[in-house]
Amino acid sequence: MANKLWDKGYDEDARIDAFTVGHDRELDLQLAPFDILGTIAHTTMLQSVGLLSKEDLDVLLPELKSLYSLVCEGGFEIEPDVEDVHSQVELMLTRKLGEVGKKVHTGRSRNDQVLVDLKLYARARIEKTVHEVESLFVTLQEASEKFKDVLIPGYTHLQVAMPSSFGLWFGAYAESLCDDVIMLKAAWDVVNRNPLGSAAGYGSSAPLDRTLTTKLLGFDDLDYNSVFAQMTRGKMERAVAFAYSSIAETIGRLAYDGCLYSSQNFGFIKLPDALTTGSSIMPHKKNPDVFELVRAHCNKIQGVPNTIRLVTGNLPSGYFRDMQILKEVFFPLFDEMDSCLDIVEYAIKGMEVKTDIMSDPKYKLAFSVEKVNDLVAEGVPFRDAYRRVAASITDGSFDHSGKLSHTHEGSIGNLCNDRIASRMERLLSGFRFGKVSDAIDALVK
């Protein structure tokens, strides 16, 4: 095995090689575009500080951009005897350009190289997820407005409690996504700092310009302390996973409601036949497998931060090979979450809502608080009104018109969806995706 950046000329044990490389070759394909972007920025910086000649840079940049295009077109591969994406990129440069290809690793280590790759990768994936969340948010708000006058029973302890509405139900999950975006923004802020130049975790005697690579890659700031930069491995992944677990909690709970509300015992919503599955033995079955699988995926996602903690929780400062395992836990998180967001939005758009739910006599007692408030409005002290209504429930004489007068902010009659939408707009504007896009475009064009 000669195609390793740390090759020292001796033969390796094939079994050790297979074990230590693990799944890196497959997983590193996802890092390939970001490894090349980091190398473009790094070599540009090397030339600016005199560690690379203008002539060398002039041949390196076109080839790196060509490799970037190859990755984007799906033609990039990590060869079977090559350890990882870093080795593959350097190998391809050396094959094409000769000795100049060997100069790109000056002033960096695979430790800061994989760190910058991971941060660029996570940054791109967070941006995609933010757009998915925004799309679902809009769909939920639209459903909230469309069905704002359709009443459903609200529950506490899974017992009928007070009147709610589909406007409140859909709107609640929309507003919950605002909190999730706050978590995503916190993860973005952790991700969007540059570790490049920290080398193996102790900096370099080379006169690197880390501020320049920060600007070139569109980062907001640096991870300044070299030891700390290395310590962000694992911590960064966990911060991102916490944000995704927050989304998963929102979506998983919505999915649970979807399972409950679509059952015959509730019958509040109906999924189109195409979004359900059948039974091999019961001809009548139309199962909400979409929501059940979303619920399971979201429960799994909520366990990811703890899995990351278990891998890295007992490590001292410095780099350790344990961190390689994080890719296996971290990378699947993004597709799993995005697919859940996408399918839930699709299901909501196809969902049928029952409009006469509260006319069922079994929900009559949900209006007991309305009756109490009616009496209070007539001047009856609340506690006396409560007792009178309780007595009427006990003796079977309770009745109510079913009319509601909810006016306070966030109630059935005043959903405040416009204010919630304004909050989401403010939160989304904080990501400054345009700055990142402009920086990447400048690197590859």
* Residue 7 pLDDT class (50, 70, 90 cuts): low
Encode pLDDT of 15-41 as tens digits: 766 666 666 677 889 999 999 999 999
* pLDDT for residue 60 is more than 60: yes
In 78-191, alpha helices (H): 85-97, 110-146, 166-191
In the predicted structure, residue 322 carries a pLDDT above the cut 50: yes
Q: Write down the pLDDT at residue 17.
A: 63
At residue 4, the pLDDT reads 54
With 50 as the cut, is the pLDDT of residue 261 above it? yes
Q: Give, in degrees to the nearest 5, the angle at Cα 54 between 51 and 59.
A: 110
**What is the Cα–Cα distance from 79 to 2, expressed in whole angstroms?**
12
Instruction: State what percent of residues in the chain have pLDDT above 90.
Output: 83
For residues 382 and 373, what is the distance between their CA atoms, to the nearest angstrom?
8
Nearest C-alpha neighbor of 211 from the set 64, 51, 41: 41
In this prediction, residues 144-166 reach a mean pLDDT of 96
Q: What is the pLDDT of residue 13?
A: 63
Q: How far apart are CA 211 and CA 207, in angstroms?
A: 12
Model confidence over 384-403: pLDDT tens digits? 999 999 999 999 999 988 88
Instruction: Identify whether the C-beta of residue 103 lies closer than 8 Å to the C-beta of residue 52.
Output: yes
pLDDT at 18: 66
Average pLDDT, integer, range 112-133: 97
Instruction: Provide the pLDDT for residue 2.
Output: 45
Instruction: Determine the pLDDT at residue 305.
Output: 96
Mean pLDDT score of the chain, rounded to an integer? 93
DSSP 354-414: -S-GGGSGGGGGGGHHHHHHHHHHTT--HHHHHHHHHHHHHHT-----------STTBTTB
pLDDT of residue 14: 66
Question: CATH classification of 14-103, choosing from 1.10.1270.20, 1.10.275.10, 1.10.1370.30, 3.30.230.30?
Answer: 1.10.275.10
pLDDT at 302: 97
Q: What is the pLDDT of residues 264-283, one digit of tens each?
A: 999 999 988 887 787 678 87
First to last CA, the chain: 35
The phi, psi pair for 222, rounded to 5°, reads -100, 155
Burial class (CB in 10 A: 0-12, 13-18, 19+), 444: middle
Contacts for 97 with CB less than 8 Å, ≥ 6 apart? 59, 60, 63
Cβ atoms 259, 291 nearer than 8 A = yes
pLDDT classification of 319: cutoffs 50, 70, 90? confident
The reported pLDDT for the residue numbered 192 is 98
Q: What is the pLDDT of residue 288?
A: 85
Which helix or strand (DSSP H or E) is residue 29 part of? none
In this predicted structure, the answer to whether residue 59 has a pLDDT above a threshold of 90 is yes
Q: With both helix axes pointing from N to C terminus, report the angle between 226-262 and 289-302 in degrees, rounded to the nearest 10.
A: 150
Give the residue-averaged pLDDT of 305-311. Answer: 94
Integer Cα distance of 416 and 171 in angstroms: 9
> What mean pLDDT is predicted for residues 197-201?
95
- Mean pLDDT for the stretch of residues 39-59: 97
Q: How far apart are CA 326 and CA 169, in angstroms?
A: 37
Predicted TM-score (pTM) of this structure = 0.92
pLDDT at 69 over 90: yes
pLDDT of residue 360 exceeding 90: yes
Give the pLDDT mean for 340-362: 95
Work out the average pLDDT over 198-222: 96
Using alpha carbons, select from 332, 410, 168, 136 the residue that is nearest to residue 247: 136
Domains in the chain: boundaries:
14-103, 116-148+158-197+232-358, 367-408
**Backbone phi, then psi, for 353, in 5-degree steps?**
-110, 130
Q: Which helix (H) or strand (E) holds 221?
A: strand 221-222
pLDDT of residue 323: 84
State the DSSP H helix or E strand holding residue 202, giving kind and residue range, or none if neither: none
Topology, domain 116-148+158-197+232-358: Fumarase C; Chain A, domain 2 (1.20.200)
Q: What is the pLDDT of residue 21?
A: 61
Q: Mind listing the pLDDT tens digit for each residue in 211-241?
A: 999 999 999 999 999 999 999 999 999 999 9
pLDDT level of residue 12 (50, 70, 90 thresholds):
low
